[in-house]
Structure formats: structure tokens, C-alpha cells
Amino acid sequence: MINRWLVFAACMFAGGGLGLWAASEHGLVAGLFAAAVAWLAIDSFYVSRLLRWLRGEQNNDTPAVIANAIPHIPGVWGETIDRVRRLLKDRDHQYWESQARLDEFLAAMQASPSGVVLLDAQGRIEWCNHIATQHFGFDVQRDMSQHIANLVREPAFNTYMSGNDFSRDVVIPGSFSTPARPVKLSVHAHAYGKGRKLLLSRDITAVELADAMRRDFVANVSHEIRTPLTVLSGFIETLQTLPLKEPERIRYLSLMAQQSLRMQTLVNDLLTLSRLEGSPFPEANGWMTTSALLAQCEQEVRALSQVLAPQGHRIEFDNGPACELAGVQAELYSAMSNLVANAIRYTPDTGLVRVSWKMLEDGRGEFKVKDSGPGIAPEHLPRLTERFYRIDRSRSRETGGTGLGLAIVKHVAQRHGAELHIESQLGQGSCFSIIFPAVRVRQL
């Protein structure tokens, strides 16, 4: 600042000296005035350059443009510009650091497996990640700044949000939920800031389905075991309390043995499922011939047909080309025999059951069981491999089914990298096939 006054004094001295030299005393005043005006004009020019630069910065020019437009001014205004430039540089650095941290935070929320929605104090959407758009059906371009209640109209959700009790979550249907394929969302709100809210959504369809399947499994196992136990306990009490003739006693013991075998079959199937789910996948190095597997199935199915159908079935086996399969023989036989046994159980007397093996053009192998039974309605097909799922419970019990056969087939197929295909139409029979990958099939 002292330098500024020294420059002003030097200008005045020079102007006064020139005026005094040119026009004596009258020139002194004119020279001083001219020097003051010149100094003020130069100073105003420097100030105007400084103001133009500051206005350009306020107009949100990029840092590169601002840096290139910095005027070079000597004196105190130059020092002012330098200090302002340093402040702006620090400000820009802090801004870009904050922006980078914000981008990283938003990227982390974008990568979250849960849906994330940020709401302002009025309940309008400020930001949401991709998962949230799938859960709620939002459109990022269209729905930003829209009120959440206008987009999610589920009554349970609106009651939850208006109640301001966010100690628990609320379960609502997802945007793509249908009666055939229900989708369940768990939504939990968290308050933060000044009235703002954070919504976290999670797809719990699989959890809900697993929980329902667990409840159904326990209920079905209890029911399947309780029925034969009731029969057994009733017959035992009868044998203990009533004097029976030999024919009656033999009949009762036969029925008891039948119910005991039913429970034993159920327990064995449950143990088989447990073993399949808990053991590692089999390696593709244990080979067995398909003709041997089909021969075992044929022997079993013909014996079962004689028991279930007094008039017999028409049973055809086509062993196809000589091949070998890689896997666990006991598991493969269990899967194949379950498919054949189901065909016999659900095909009426004199009906046709055709079992075949063939090689596909791409090197895969197909085991197929086709029957002329009553067929299966389309709504039952997706659930056939569920444990204890039955279309006709009474008929299954009459024919000795446990409701676990197709579940075992599905697990065996998965363990061997195979695919289970089911095709059926009401009144036109059913076709079950297991397609084995080429790495597990070789032709002899």
C-alpha cells in the first residue's frame, strides 16, 4: 500500500514539475490536476480489468478459461489478483475433491445389491440406483423430483411412510410381480438430515419362497409319517385288545407291513435327497453302459406293472446305440427308475409306456420316458419337481408314491450337468427326458 502512495506522489511530483517548467505557477496547478487524472485513469483501467476477470469467474467459466484470462497488472491490484487466484485455485481443488468423493459414494451405492432411493424433506425422489429402478419400476429421466407416493401406490407402503415408524421394514409386491411369478420386496426407510429419508429395498422373493417351502416340507413330512403311524397304532391296539381269528390277524399284519414299508420308503427318499444335496458333484470318470441301466429299469417296471395293473401295461424299451454314461451308477439308476415308475403309476391299465435312449446330433445323450396317461395341466408343470408336490394326492398314495421322486430326478440331473425336460398335455400323456452333456456320454 505504501508503494501505491509513493507511485501517486511520484506522478504528482512529475506532473507538477512539468507544469511549473512549462507555465510557471499557473502550470503547476494544471500539471498536478493532469497527473491526478492520469493516475486515476490508469488505476481505473486496472480495476476494470480485475472486475472483468472476477465477473468471468462468477459466470462459472471453467478453471482453464479463468486461468488463461488472468490479467497481468502491476502494483497492489496485481497482488490482489494473485491472492484471489490462489483462493480460487484452492476452492476449485476442494470442489473437485468433493465431487470425486461424491462420485465414488454414488458409484458405491450404484453397485449396491440393494435398491437405494434418496428422498428430500417433501418425499420427492432426489436420486436412485439401478436396482431401485428395477424394484419400483422408476424411470430415471421421468421420475426424478416426483413424489414417492405418486409412484409407489401400495397401501402398505404409504401407511408405512406416513407413520414415520421406521424401526421395521415393510414387505410389498415388486413392480413386475404377477400372480404366476410373485415378487416380494422388503423396504426399510431411514431418516437423515433435515427431514430427508433413505429407502433401502431388497428382493426377498427367494427367501419367502424358501421359507414357504420349508414350512410346506415340515408339514408334508409330518402328514406323510402321521398317516401310516395312525394306521399302525390302530392295528397294534386292535391286536392287543381283541381276540382275532388267524385270517384277520394275518390281514392286519399285512396292512401293518404295508404301512411300515411306506414309511421306510419315505425315509429312504429323504435320506437320498439329503445325500444328493450335501455331497460334491460326481466326476466324469466312472463309466457304465446305458444298456445295463435300462435293463435294470425294465426289470423293475415290469414287476411294478404286475402289482399296480392287473391287466398289465404295454411296455416298450428301445436301448438305442451302445453307449456309456459317466457318473454315479446308483444315482443315475435312481433317477431313471423314478421316471419309469411314475409313468407306470399314472398310466391306466393297458396303457403304453415307452422308454428310449438315443444319441443327439451334438453328441449329447437323451433318456426319455413317454406314457399315454391322463397328462398334466400347464399350471402344474413348473412345480412338479418340488418336494411332496402332487397333482392328485389320493392317487399318489394309492400307487405308493412319496412325492419325492421328481425332486430326486432333478437333483441327480443337476449333479451330472444334465437337463430335465417335461412335456405334457391333458388327455395326451406326458414325456419326461434327461439330456446328458456330451462330456458324460461316449458311444461304443
Q: Nearest CA to 126 among 114, 134, 138, 111? A: 138
The least confident of 12-26, 104-118, 161-175, 300-314 is 12-26
Per-residue pLDDT tens digits for 116-142? 999 999 999 999 999 999 899 998 888
Per-residue pLDDT tens digits for 64-110? 444 455 666 666 666 677 777 788 788 888 888 888 887 887 788 88
CATH topology of domain 112-203: Beta-Lactamase (3.30.450)
Instruction: Give, for 306, the enclosing helix (H) or strand (E).
Output: helix 290-308
Q: Mean pLDDT: which of 25-29, 93-97, 188-192 is highest?
A: 188-192
Q: Nearest CA to 233 among 249, 251, 250, 256? A: 256
Q: Alpha-carbon distance 246 to 269, whole Å? A: 34
The least confident of 157-161, 272-276, 289-293 is 272-276
Domain boundaries, the chain: 2-104, 112-203, 209-279, 280-443
The least confident of 272-276, 285-289, 381-385 is 272-276
Q: Alpha-carbon distance 347 to 395, whole Å? A: 11
**Cβ–Cβ under 8 Å, residues 199 and 182:** no
Q: Which CATH architecture has domain 209-279?
A: Orthogonal Bundle (1.10)
Q: What is the mean pLDDT of residues 352-376?
A: 91
Residue 170 confidence (pLDDT):
92
Q: Nearest CA to 224 among 401, 381, 385? A: 401
Q: Which CATH architecture has domain 280-443?
A: 2-Layer Sandwich (3.30)
Q: Nearest CA to 363 among 329, 394, 325, 337? A: 325
Q: Alpha-carbon distance 66 to 70, whole Å? A: 6
The whole-chain average pLDDT of the chain stands at 81
Residue 435 confidence (pLDDT):
94
Question: What is the distance between the terminal CA atoms of the chain, rounded to a whole angstrom?
Answer: 103
Statement: residue 375 has pLDDT above 50: yes
Q: Alpha-carbon distance 275 to 280, whole Å? A: 10
Statement: residue 43 has pLDDT above 80: no
Per-residue pLDDT tens digits for 386-397? 777 776 655 444
Q: Which residues contact 15 (CB under 8 A, 6 or more apart)?
A: 31, 32, 33, 34, 35, 36, 38
pTM for the structure as a whole:
0.54
Q: Which residues contact 81 (CB under 8 A, 6 or more apart)?
A: 50, 53, 70, 71, 73
The total number of residues shown for the chain amounts to: 444
Residue 112 confidence (pLDDT):
86
Q: Alpha-carbon distance 406 to 125, whole Å? A: 48
Residue 65 confidence (pLDDT):
47
Q: How is residue 397 written as a grid cell?
A: 398314495
94 conformational bin, left if phi > 0, alpha if psi -120 to 50, beta if neither = alpha
Statement: residue 444 has pLDDT above 90: no
358 conformational bin, left if phi > 0, alpha if psi -120 to 50, beta if neither = beta
Statement: residue 329 has pLDDT above 80: yes
Higher pLDDT, 157 or 76: 157
Say if strands 352-359 and 365-371 run parallel, antiparallel, or are unpaired: antiparallel
Q: What is the mean pLDDT of residues 242-270?
A: 82
Per-residue pLDDT tens digits for 338-353? 899 889 888 888 889 9
Fill in the DSSP letter of residue 241: H
The least confident of 152-166, 249-263, 323-337, 362-376 is 249-263
Neighbours of 30 (CB within 10 A): 16
